[in-house]
Amino acid sequence: MKRRNYFTGLWLLTVVSTLVMACSAPSQPASPAAKSEAAPTTAPAAKSEPAAAKPAATNADWDKVVAAGKQEKTIVLSTHAGSGYEKFVDAAKKALPDLDVQGTTIKASDFVPRVVAEQQNGQYLWDVHMGPLSNIFTVLTPANGLESITPFLDVLPADVKDDAHWYGKFAMYTDPKNPVSLVTSLTESGGTYVNREIVGAEELKTVDELLDPKWKGKIVIYDPTVSNGGGMSMASVLGSKGPDFLKKLLVDQDATYVETSRQATEWIAQGRYPIGFGMDDTYLKELQSKGVGAKVERVRDFGTYVLTNGVSVLKNAPHPNATKMFLNWLLSKDGQESWAQLASVFKQST
């Protein structure tokens, strides 16, 4: 199994607050070790001695990490909100019986300001965040709320970091110059959600049809003014159709904003609004299992975006060795399969 699709970056996620589009994927950054091989245009300076390579971790090194992690006894983990993420935390608890895995499922948009406020008051309570990296990249990283993850990766067994096990390469970060978040996956998400009990099967098949006057007042969006599913879907529409189209969609069509994706999901499943952006796929599936919103369809042709997922170590992580034990499992074949099978973010693209 290849444990990463490929990395296109997080820059598209920074556009949402100002609705400046960047939904086209940026080119893949080089790993921190990559150097330019362009021929020099001037005579080269005298060569300096190369830096000594870091010695590879040994079994004895890893045994020391495990022993120290067992002494720490605990790891405090944050993941995105949703039942799939809760199942992933349960899988981590089973895989790490020597640790008390304290997992909190919380939206990154709620988690990030909480962490910033805690750290400003000298509280360093979290070890690891695992999940979508939008707010982690655009807010928590500039706030200096994360540790460089590379020291935590250097000591891991070689098999976990083997490039052959990863699509592209193992060492891919949101910012190679500031490697605080390791990218582990990338998936297509979002789209336009349509309740086909209200909107006929032959209707709303192109993005231009969103501006049909008959849909005025019938579109609900998870708050598009911040970096979330609704906002990123609007960024995608902006990129494909331009600002005039987006203004007509939001203003002329009298779109309704809601503060939570759960509320938006309920309203479209119940038929209160037949068209929506920023739905919670996990919650939608729960409703559909109860016979509510059975004909809600996700139209991928417009409103989709790239969602980057990964792992970050929080600043002054209180359980550094337990964190390394968690990363060893998370980045293993078993850990990545648990993430792919359980975490709801992957199910959004199915």
Q: What is the mean pLDDT of each run of 10 residues along the chain (350 residues)?
A: 36 34 33 32 39 59 94 95 86 96 89 95 97 89 96 93 90 93 88 94 90 96 84 90 95 93 93 93 86 92 86 97 97 92 54
299 beta partners: 192
CATH second-level architecture of 63-186+307-347? 3-Layer(aba) Sandwich (3.40)
- pLDDT confidence of residue 54: 55
pLDDT value of position 34: 31
Identify the CA nearest to 218 among candidates 257, 275, 262: 275
- pLDDT (0 to 100) of residue 267: 96
The whole-number pLDDT of residue 156 equals: 94
188-306 sits in which CATH class?
A: alpha beta
Per-residue pLDDT, 286: 85
Distance CA 314, CA 273 (A): 40
CA dihedral 68, 72, 74, 80 (to 10 degrees): -70
Q: Give the whole-angstrom CA distance, residue 273 versus residue 292.
A: 14
Q: What is the pLDDT of residue 35?
A: 31
One-letter amino acid of 308: T
Give the three-class secondary structure for 191. strand
pLDDT at site 261: 86
Chain-centre distance of CA 172, in angstroms? 14
The predicted pLDDT at position 323 comes to 97
Over the stretch 152-185, which tens digit does the pLDDT of each residue have?
A: 999 999 999 999 989 888 999 999 999 999 999 8
Domains of the chain, by residue range, sit at: 63-186+307-347, 188-306
* pLDDT for residue 68: 96
pTM over 0.95: no
CB 193 within 8 A of CB 287: no
Bridge partners, residue 74, by sequence: 100
